[in-house]
Amino acid sequence: MLSPWRSEFYWLIWLLFFGIFLGKLSGMYFAALWLCSLIYLARNIYHINRIVLWLRSGGKVPQGGGIWEEIYYLIFRLKRRNKSRKKRLLAMLERFRTATTALPDATVVLGPRDEIDWFNDAAERLLGLRKSDIGQQIGNLLRQPKFVEFLRGTDASATITIASPIMDKAQLEIRIVPYGENLRLLVAQDVTHIRFMERVRSDFVANVSHELRTPLTVLKGYLETLEDADQDIPERYRKVFRHMEEHTARMQKLIDGLLSLTKLESGTLAPYKLVDCPGLLLSVCNEAQLLKPDQASLELILETHADLYGVESELRSAFSNLVVNALKYTPGDGKVQVRWRRENGGAVLEVEDTGPGIASEHLPRLTERFYRVEPGRAGGGKDGVGLGLAIVKHVLTRHEAELKIVSTVGKGSCFGCRFPEKRVLFDVDDSK
């Protein structure tokens, strides 16, 4: 079988000989060659039309000579390949839809204008969507101001908890994940049971802590009485009483920390007021310097006199935990700097120390309750109960702030609290 181009070349040669033969018979070589060109052009137009009809209506593969036979074959092979690929994609799409439909979480595909393109069965059950809602904007169907404001946000890691529009007392946690170009995926999970268990746990911790405070207060009172009568106590018992006093104080810290966390997690948010942040930091640093005389030096640097909108008691607790922790784990010849400055329209509190630092593998878990880094800290953290940074994280979350931890083993650590612009009120004298 000849190659397509060779066959086409032979076809042109025979057409050229035919034109020369007609020219020799008629004596009009130019007209004969022009006629042959028209025949070649008409042949190509004929095959182009056949391709159009074939692609439009399908059917058998057209037959043709020369290069057109190769063109028909290549188009046929491409169509067959695309058809096979289309079948695979349709099968894959069907499996995806079946799997998504079986998910217990509501899944809604949103278009560029937040209109509903598709949703699974769980979305009907949890969000009350119907097939007729496809094409409608999701914000017009879930008419909750909290959700509408969340829909305008751009943070893909953020979540929001709202009440289900159709299920009584049900709580839904919603996350919006961007994908593709101007497309987003809304995922809603029923967290009613999880929130109930969190409330039960919080109530249990609060109740147990309150119940422990009474016997602990009695025990602490007796120990203080025995301390006043130190001269009358035999020497062999004094060490025992000192150990009892140390562990009583540690238990008191643990209970106070648990009660603070419980209040932050389950308590209603107090109304925000304007807090004198420079004055608050000065008070916290002055109190921290009274802990013990041989601690590291403490320096407060106020690069801005900005104030914060928040709850003063909660901010005091968070700032105090950061400063006290830095002093606790920094050697006596070290240095702790507390810096209050502005950044990107907001404000940042940085507590930097020259302590032993924290290994990188511990950083993601530092804000977990009861998590302590024993080997990498000076003194082993014997006085801590592992609740300080958990309290800091909860306070910052309630104030829409972010905790950033940077630490290098052997050089020290820096704990940064970044407050957004809407939480900060700058002084008129602050430089822009």
List domains and CATH numbers for the chain: 4-96 (no CATH), 103-190 (3.30.450.20), 197-266 (1.10.287), 273-425 (3.30.565.10)
- Name, of 39-43, 74-78, 277-281, the range with top average pLDDT: 277-281
Task: Specify the amino acid at residue 317.
Answer: S
Lowest mean pLDDT among 107-116, 207-216, 339-348: 207-216
| Mean pLDDT (the chain, rounded) | 80
Task: State the pLDDT at residue 279.
Answer: 92
CA distance 323 to 288: 7
Gyration radius from the chain CA atoms: 39
C-alpha span between 347 and 328 (Å, rounded)? 26
* Residues 316 and 392 sit within 8 Å (Cβ to Cβ): no
In this prediction, residue 119 carries a pLDDT of 87
What are the tens digits of pLDDT across the range 349-398?
999 998 888 888 888 888 877 777 764 444 444 456 677 788 888 888 88
CA distance 215 to 251: 11
What pLDDT score was predicted for residue 381?
44
At 281 the pLDDT is: 92
CA distance 75 to 60: 12
Please, which residues have CB within 8 angstroms of residue 128's CB and are 6 or more apart in sequence? 141, 164, 165, 166
Can you list the positions of beta strands (E) in 210-292? 273-275
**How many residues are recorded in the chain?**
432
Where is mean pLDDT largest: 29-38, 200-209, 276-285?
276-285
Cα distance between residue 27 and residue 33, in whole Å? 12
